[in-house]
Amino acid sequence: MPVLNTSTYRAPRWLPGGHVQTIHPALFRREPPPDMARERLELADGDFLDLDWCIRGGGRLAVLCHGLEGSSRDHYMRGMTRALGARGWDVLAWNYRGCGGEPNRLLSSYHSGKTDDLDAVIRHALTTRDHRTIDLVGFSLGGNLILKYLGESPGRTDRRLRRAVVFSVPCDLACSAGALSKWRNRLYMGRFLRALTEKLAEKDRRFPGRIDLSGLEKMSTFAEFDDRFTAPLHGFQSALDYWSRSSSRQFLNALSVPTLLVNAANDPFLGPRCYPFAEAEANPRLFLEVPD
């Protein structure tokens, strides 16, 4: 039964429709920065991750994962940090490779299925802190990372990792890419591609001759971008191979940690296969909430 047939969430009446509800907070929500301390986590492959800690001395820790081209400084990350801190959690908001304000060291970066970095963050938190429990919270791409991480190797999950909550998750990446390629979503697609293009240009300056940027300015979809750049830079054969292997939906039946997935019915980033009703009905640990 873990499909929640009713949701207590109601969008403000003055924010009608999925596009306004998506754009307004991105432009106008303001969250004051919480008091956080930065730590650099060195990785085995020579790269690094920047971790932002908000420690209040509680016994439980929440690890926050941001969305595509986001960071720990984004309004939704700050808001969640403050909300959890007010309720007794310590918080670790980590930045993916190249998202913490400084370019990462390698030609490759992060992607929707790179769970080894999330595993490194969790293991670091477990070995350097004495929290009794850890919970995971993820947004969009970060939600996909969490679901894939929990489902792909459930046996590795530490007993202190207790629960997860994820929001607006493109758990079928091909379906989400198709939704974002529609004309009505060109604003979001353009914004993502501009950010990704800037990072590619920076990498081209540091790794001359390693990336062919010809035609990049004409790309308008994730199908084009991921096929040309994301897939080959991270060991995938194509965009379809990347999406297939990195989508979290295929791992949902194996979730062993109680997990709440909240995907709004009018989310412009999500297509029909991003609402895993069958998987939630089959797995008593997966709770699916779909607010109107």
Give the pTM.
Answer: 0.96
- Cβ atoms within 10 A of the Cβ of 120, count? 16
Task: State the DSSP code for 227.
Answer: I
Composition of the chain by helix, strand, coil, percent to 5: 40, 15, 40
**Is residue 182 over pLDDT 80?**
yes
Selecting from 3.30.470.10, 3.40.50.300, 3.10.590.10, 3.40.50.1820, what CATH number does the domain 3-179+248-289 have? Answer: 3.40.50.1820
Q: Which of 47-51, 55-59, 125-129, 271-275 is the least confident region?
A: 55-59
- Are the C-beta atoms of residues 53 and 91 closer than 8 Å to each other? yes
Pairing of strands 3-4, 37-42: unpaired
**Is residue 156 over pLDDT 80?**
no
Average pLDDT over residues 210-228: 95
pLDDT in tens, 38-82: 999 999 999 999 999 999 888 999 999 999 999 999 999 999 999
Residue 16: helix, strand or coil by DSSP? Answer: coil
Predicted pLDDT at 27: 85
The residue ranges of every structural domain in the chain are 3-179+248-289
- Are the C-beta atoms of residues 72 and 34 closer than 8 Å to each other? no
Predicted pLDDT at 26: 87
Predicted pLDDT at 86: 94
